[in-house]
Structure 1
Amino acid sequence: MDTLTPTSTAATTDSYRPALHFTAKDTWLNDPNGLIFHDGVYHLYYQNNPVGNVWGNMSWGHATSTDLLTWTEHPVAIACDENEDIFSGSIVHDRHNTSGFGDGSTAPLVAVYTSAFKPGSLHEGVQAQSLAYSLDGGYSWTKHGGNPVLNRGSAEFRDPKVIWYDGGADSYWVMVAVEATDFQVVLYKSRDLKAWEPLSTFGPANATGGVWECPDLFPLPVDGDPENVKWVLTVNLNPGGPNNGSAGQYFIGDFDGTTFTSASTVTEGLQDPDRLGDYQWLDWGRDYYAAVSFSDAPENRRLMIAWMNNWEYANQIPTTPWRSPMSLAREISLQARDGELCLVQQPAGDWTALAGTESLHLSGTTIDDGVQVLAGAAGTVQRIDVSFTPGGAEEFGLILRGDGTKGTRVGIRPGEGTLLVDRRESGRTDFHDSFPSIDSAPIQATSGSYDLTIFVDRCSAEVFAQDGQVTMTELIFPAETSTSLAVYAVGGTATMNSLQVAQLG
């Protein structure tokens, strides 16, 4: 069933169900798992409760796409049983059949996942790494009879991301996983995906305000230069994000096949709570967690998806029968900006394919002190591209999914050097005390202007600022009738250099 096409029935029977983001039809989902591009298809597996819309009964759900914009949901791929829950992990295409799971004509896909062993099982209370394999392109899976393949006897050892390390004659599989409560990434190597030996550890470092989860490790060229390649280690943590709750951080450095060495560590050991703003975050919003990247993406692109929710209120968001969306897929690049390396993120996919015929174009507009609703800009699913030049205003920006002066404010405070999302009047906020919030991120003008691309969906706003150098992802739950778009300024004026609003779907 197609759960994400703009014309799908599911998208019109629930005022909060996204038109642009994947959701399960009628169940709970969280962390993306096993992301892989295989035989022309993007496979999104994810933590799923097949029988409810709150966390529990962890299994791997499954969806596919050919364009990263529309997704088709499939039956549960790897199900929990009486012995284990199926926690997060990754999938590799075992092209050379190193595992021996192939049948002589088909190289297997191999899922490496965390077995969370239940009371009464042989490994009760332990989290260890296990395997399953598929010979039909990822639609049906068989658990390995020798599971688990890597057991440290730990209750908090999880979330394996496996990559192929190309060391010429000495090439092998590398696993990055976490000892979650030790704030430590642990690295292992294997020739066959079954027997693993330790390589090294990384951490604690930078943000350690909550458990470490869902790591990833990948190379990226700096500014597209294949002769200048750095490695990026991403680590998600909960809580301890820059605006409270769940978040993802990253480190930039080098990997020699054994050890990851960070060149961007700010704080060794346990974090300094006053330095959260100095760390490098995948996203500064409240609702971008467990981000991991696709294996084998075409043209060596680095594509990433995250769970669009926050563990502070994840089980309470006001949606039914489904609960939790995924973020948009993003293409990740590594660029030098202002003398420092940083990840730059852009929404992936051909967005012109979803754009409707209606759009609004404005230029050279003065924003007076107060709120000005924009005629012809109303909508519920939109792409907004806007550029501002500051004037005397202390704050200026847009009010999304509004109803007069109320709505979700996306603003700039140039004197503070901050981008903010204020969702205190965004709609439904009463389901959890921590949901109504003002969240902020550091931002600096580029050639005197602030440029934002914002994707507005029925329950979210994803902000890409300064060409993707800063991102903020936030859930919102506006009334169905709250569709206006407004500009505002506080304490003076500003200039909206240009505005383009495209209705999507």
Structure 2
Amino acid sequence: MVPASLTKFSSVKIFSFMLILIYFLFSPLCFAEEPIIIADFESEDYGAWQSEGDAFGEGPAEGTLPGQMEVTGFQGQRLVNSFNGGDEATGSLTSPQFEVKRPYISFLIGGGGYEGKTCINLLSGGEVVRTAEGTNTQAGGSEQLMWDSWNVRDLQGEMVKIQIVDSRTGGWGHINVDHIIQTSIERKVVHNKQREFEFTSKYLNFPVKNGAAKRWIRLYIYGEKVREFDIRLAPSDPDFWVYLDVSEFAGKTGTLEIDRYSTQWQTGFDAVFQAETFPGQDNLYQEKRRPQFHFTSRRGWVNDTNGMVYHNGKYHLFYQHNPYGWNWGNMTWGHAVSTDLVHWEEWGDAIHPDQMGTIFSGSAVVEHDKSSSAGSEDESKCFVGINSLANEKNSSGFRTGSEEPIVAFYTSAGNNSPWSRGVPFTQSIAYSNDGGRTFTKYEGNPIIGEIAGGTRDPKVFWHDSTGRWVMVLWIENDKFSIFTSDNLINWRIQSDIKGFFECPEMFELPVDGDPSNTKWVVYGAAGDYKLGDFNGTEFTPETGKIKFQHGKNFYASQTFNNIPDSDGRRIQMGWGRGIDMPDMPFNQMILFPVSLTLHTTEQGVRMFKNPVKEISKLHNRHWDWQSQEVSTGENPLSDVSGELFRIKAVLEPRGADKVEFVIRGTPVTYDVSSEQLTCLGSSAPVSLKNGKLTLEILADRMSIEIFAQNGRYYMPIGADLTENPKSLELCSEGGNAFVESMDVYTLKSIWTSE
């Protein structure tokens, strides 16, 4: 039995010990001296500060300056911002002398990250004794200011000055500074902070805050860098979470590193955690603005379609992907597959950035055992590759088993990350022997070295007549170049094509379905095309550029290679450029796949585009009308309600001035007198054929795609319909119109099993 006096004594001792412990743990916070403000820059001028040059203007800036990205993270209404006149302006700003009275001088800083050129300096006796620069050197960075501090204990009692310097011109040639204070507590950005993980789960999860400063994350496995990307880590409450799939490193120990870490963050780098799932996975594909029959990635930004190829019963869709943010960046090849062109399964990222650069657009082929029928090439042509020719069977040497490999061609976009700084743009290969599950980068990369500053986007296909592989590559300005190869590795330049910008595409199509009458199609990222002849080395155009689409949300499309002869279709998918998904953990979408055909018109041969027939797999409820007059003020679709629609109609305006579908509150209007089809500011010059207007319209949550006159005219339109009524209208204005036939379908989501 313990004596009561001893129990009381022990309790007192324990209580006293706890008080002492709390004091030592928290006294820096509780008893810290009040900060001394050196400058908060809230006045209209700089007061006693001396300004030289033209970079800093007449006084502190009220936030963002003309031509500048949005500046955030400063306190109050004003800050020092040397973007006056843009990045070409230079100058300095120097404070009066003051006495160092606290252990730290802290400040908010952003802008250019160039040591000694875009910086803040502490001067003692005219010499720089402390310095710090901004955070950015690469395009696409953030203008957010972050805390930094100098430890000045050894300078306490001395008289010093602050000098803010902008001596750089060109990109990020400016500096942002605010709220310079003397403090007892360090407010600091820690450089190259690390955390160690033993990988036992599938994902590393990262919190993201749109608008936060970009930070560089690096992952090392046993000292070897395997990933590097920028991310807007959330300093407090995240907008959403993204993930890095680390399943390939299972059982290994990895070191995660961040280039700059703020001691003021509440979450950020310290919140990264490992798990078999990612936050938000339980609501995946059901988010408010998630398109329901257009492909979008689970997380992050999507742009150009890449590497589209059919292989062993699967359509492979690769795409430009930023897995770690809502905006463009960290270009990686995302990957999804489908057996029907409608339902897609995301397989995860296929090709990751490396020391040669981020992974820009390209194409993919299936390497069949093909034999060349054209003999040796003219040795006077430029020999671009660096390896000797391989055998015709498995000529590349990539195949390791019985399955024909998928070979991907992409641009190694050097100088797009610290990992590849100073490295040029080149062309590279990765290949897969397991049906696209994993890819191996060719150890001899690059297969084509630097040609011009941004040469990119190799499109590769097999040319039957000459028995060779053909590559079309954007070089610079409006020039494509054609290369040929016997083995996918060694490439010879053959000729040029003028008139197109980036993302080349080239293929052959029959005219009016006649296999004995074909033309070759060439187009660039915008989709406008030329028709002509191709002999395996040179394209001879027979037309000028012909407009492909009339919307405002189409770019960087590609068609599938290796479609079986029994199918024979030329199937295209493009990027729904500029269709933003606000407040979502993903952004942008891929347009619905279309089948391309050539048909003779009164203006010559033209390319038509129509939704692939597989869309019928999504049909749900169905309404149809035949031979019905539509009077002014009448709406035959008044009983139709739904979220997702496919509409097919053959209309005769007859006495009407206008005929209009109103799709969930958004009008699609045909004006008879001007022969213009319009929707949300886009228009197409559509003439009636035998007095008839044929329309097919696909309406998803975030888009309306319009196909007129059996696909001759195509209008992809971004439209946020999520808050709109779930109604349809067909209206006639100025007179009665006539419905020859009309079918309306509500559509099922591709993300559900129903």
Q: How does 1:106-255 map to 2 (within 5 A)?
A: 106-118=403-415, 124=422, 126-167=424-465, 170-180=466-476, 182-204=477-499, 212-236=501-525, 247-255=526-534
| Alignment partner, residue 573 of structure 2 | 305
Counterparts of 1:493 and 1:107, CA distance in 2 = 60
Cα RMSD (Å) of the superposition? 2.1
Q: String of CA shifts for 1:350-402, please: whole Å, max 9, x gaps.
A: 3332211x222234444445684732212111111122212343322101112
Counterparts of 1:83 and 1:30, CA distance in 2 = 21
| Alignment partner, residue 660 of structure 2 | 397
How high is the sequence identity, in percent, across the aligned residues?
36
Q: String of CA shifts for 1:106-152, please: whole Å, max 9, x gaps.
A: 43211110110126667835221101111101110111111111123
| Alignment partner, residue 135 of structure 2 | none
Q: How does 1:30-429 map to 2 (within 5 A)?
A: 30-96=303-369, 97-103=394-400, 105-118=402-415, 124=422, 126-167=424-465, 170-180=466-476, 182-204=477-499, 212-236=501-525, 247-265=526-544, 279-298=545-564, 299=566, 300-310=568-578, 316-338=580-602, 340-356=604-620, 358-369=621-632, 372=635, 374-402=637-665, 408-422=666-680
1:444 aligns with 2:687: yes
CA contact (8 A) 1:250 1:282 kept: yes
Counterparts of 2:396 and 2:325, CA distance in 1 = 35
Moved more, 62-71 or 92-101: 92-101
Q: String of CA shifts for 1:245-277, please: whole Å, max 9, x gaps.
A: xx3211111001111111111xxxxxxxxxxxx
CA contact (8 A) 1:188 1:196 kept: yes
Counterparts of 1:303 and 1:152, CA distance in 2 = 32
Letter in 2 for 1:145: E
Counterparts of 1:175 and 1:123, CA distance in 2 = 27
Counterparts of 2:297 and 2:489, CA distance in 1 = 32
Letter in 2 for 1:412: Y
Counterparts of 1:218 and 1:186, CA distance in 2 = 15
Q: CA deviation at 1:332?
A: 1.0
CA contact (8 A) 1:15 1:480 kept: no
Letter in 1 for 2:331: M
CA contact (8 A) 1:331 1:345 kept: yes
Counterparts of 1:9 and 1:317, CA distance in 2 = 16
Counterparts of 1:371 and 1:486, CA distance in 2 = 9
Counterparts of 2:616 and 2:462, CA distance in 1 = 35
Q: CA deviation at 1:482?
A: 1.7
Q: String of CA shifts for 1:391-418, please: whole Å, max 9, x gaps.
A: 343322101112xxxxx21111222222
CA contact (8 A) 1:390 1:414 kept: yes
Q: Assess, with a 3 A threshold, how the Cα gap between structure 1 residues 363 and 349 changes in structure 2: closer, same or farther.
A: closer
Secondary structure at the aligned position of 1:350 is classed as helix
1:497 aligns with 2:740: yes
1:19 aligns with 2:292: yes
- Determine which structure has greater relative contact order: mean sequence separation of CA pairs < 8 Å that are 6+ residues apart, divided by chain length: 1
| Alignment partner, residue 10 of structure 1 | 284
CA contact (8 A) 2:357 2:423 kept: no
Letter in 2 for 1:297: I
CA contact (8 A) 1:69 1:349 kept: no
Letter in 2 for 1:10: L
Counterparts of 2:450 and 2:464, CA distance in 1 = 26
CA contact (8 A) 2:289 2:581 kept: no
Secondary structure at the aligned position of 2:577 is classed as coil
Q: Assess, with a 3 A threshold, how the Cα gap between structure 1 residues 364 and 9 changes in structure 2: closer, same or farther.
A: farther
Structure 2 unaligned regions, length at least 5: 1-281, 370-393, 749-754
| Alignment partner, residue 718 of structure 2 | 475
Q: Assess, with a 3 A threshold, how the Cα gap between structure 1 residues 194 and 231 changes in structure 2: closer, same or farther.
A: same
TM-score (norm 1): 0.83
Counterparts of 1:215 and 1:183, CA distance in 2 = 11
Structure 1 unaligned regions, length at least 5: 1-7, 206-211, 237-246, 266-278, 403-407, 423-437
Counterparts of 2:359 and 2:705, CA distance in 1 = 30
Aligned length: 440
TM-score (norm 2): 0.56
Letter in 2 for 1:384: I
Counterparts of 1:288 and 1:361, CA distance in 2 = 31
Q: Assess, with a 3 A threshold, how the Cα gap between structure 1 residues 319 and 291 changes in structure 2: closer, same or farther.
A: farther
Letter in 2 for 1:342: R
Counterparts of 1:412 and 1:90, CA distance in 2 = 38
Q: Assess, with a 3 A threshold, how the Cα gap between structure 1 residues 337 and 9 changes in structure 2: closer, same or farther.
A: farther
